[in-house]
């Protein structure tokens, strides 16, 4: 999006973002990792151009994702993109089950190799899918406020996150885009999560799940929970 709006080289935009993130880590001592994202909405050909820009700096990224209009552009159209992403050594996360139903989620895990799922709200419509996600320990990046704002769910109270956690899924609490939604992670933990019927114990479980599905080594995860 930045490249198109300003007639820039997409690979150079990726490089600039990666350099900016690295500088932020040095100056603020906060660990940051980057996920490259493609857009379904402009079709497979544009996604290929996005992918090429990401691959030009593959060592600065840890994962590949896709978002956009999943109802009109199903995951089956992007199998080769994600094969190349896996071949590059990246983790895979896929936005699915937001504007399309359980079939989109099945495609994400079976055809694209998703280790994590963005939103996956409509996975709740398929009990067999919920069992599969729990058994395969596939993470779910739940975004409570965003899902209400986009009318993916009618209200916090109708969000399936509490059900996912009770079912043993590795569901987590996320902000989606905090600038667009006008929220912070603190808001999601203290306001949105209780409104979605998450008890303090379920909120703690979601936080533990976030570490479990983070794209970090086991040693890095252990370091985060060890006494400083």
- What is the set of active-site residues? 98
Element at 139 (helix H, strand E): strand 139-142
Q: What count of other Cβ atoms lies within 10 Å of the Cβ of residue 71?
A: 12
Cα separation of 48 and 126, whole Å? 31
Name residues whose C-beta falls within 8 Å of residue 127's C-beta, 6 or more positions apart in sequence.
none
CA 187 vs CA 143, 156, 176, 196: distances in Å: 12, 13, 12, 13
Token reading at 225: 């929970």
CA 214 vs CA 54, 62, 113, 139: distances in Å: 20, 11, 16, 9
CA 190 vs CA 155, 175, 203: distances in Å: 16, 13, 9
Q: What count of other Cβ atoms lies within 10 Å of the Cβ of residue 222?
A: 11
**Closest by CA position to 173, among listed 102, 68, 183:** 183
Residues 165-197: b if buried by 16+ CB within 10 A, e if exposed: beeebbbbbbbbeeeebebeeebbbeebbeebe
């Amino acid at each position: 999006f930045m490249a198109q709006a300003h007639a820039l080289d997409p690979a150079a935009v990726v490089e600039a973002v990666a350099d900016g993130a690295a500088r932020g880590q040095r100056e603020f001592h906060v660990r940051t990792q980057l996920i490259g994202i493609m857009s379904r909405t402009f079709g497979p050909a544009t996604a290929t151009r996005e992918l090429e820009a990401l691959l030009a700096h593959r060592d600065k990224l840890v994962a590949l994702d896709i978002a956009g209009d999943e109802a009109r552009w199903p995951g089956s159209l992007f199998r080769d993109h994600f094969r190349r992403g896996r071949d590059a050594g990246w983790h895979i996360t896929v936005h699915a089950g937001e504007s399309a139903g359980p079939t989109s989620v099945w495609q994400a895990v079976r055809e694209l190799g998703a280790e994590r799922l963005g939103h996956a709200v409509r996975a709740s419509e398929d009990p067999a899918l919920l069992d599969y996600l729990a058994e395969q320990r596939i993470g779910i990046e739940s975004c409570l406020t965003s899902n209400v704002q986009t009318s993916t769910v009618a209200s916090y109270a109708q969000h399936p996150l509490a059900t996912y956690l009770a079912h043993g899924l590795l569901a987590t609490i996320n902000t989606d885009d905090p600038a667009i939604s006008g929220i912070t992670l603190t808001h999601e933990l203290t306001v949105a999560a209780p409104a979605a019927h998450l008890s303090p114990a379920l909120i703690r479980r979601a936080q533990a799940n976030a570490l479990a599905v983070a794209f970090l080594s086991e040693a890095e995860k252990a370091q985060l929970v060890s006494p400083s």
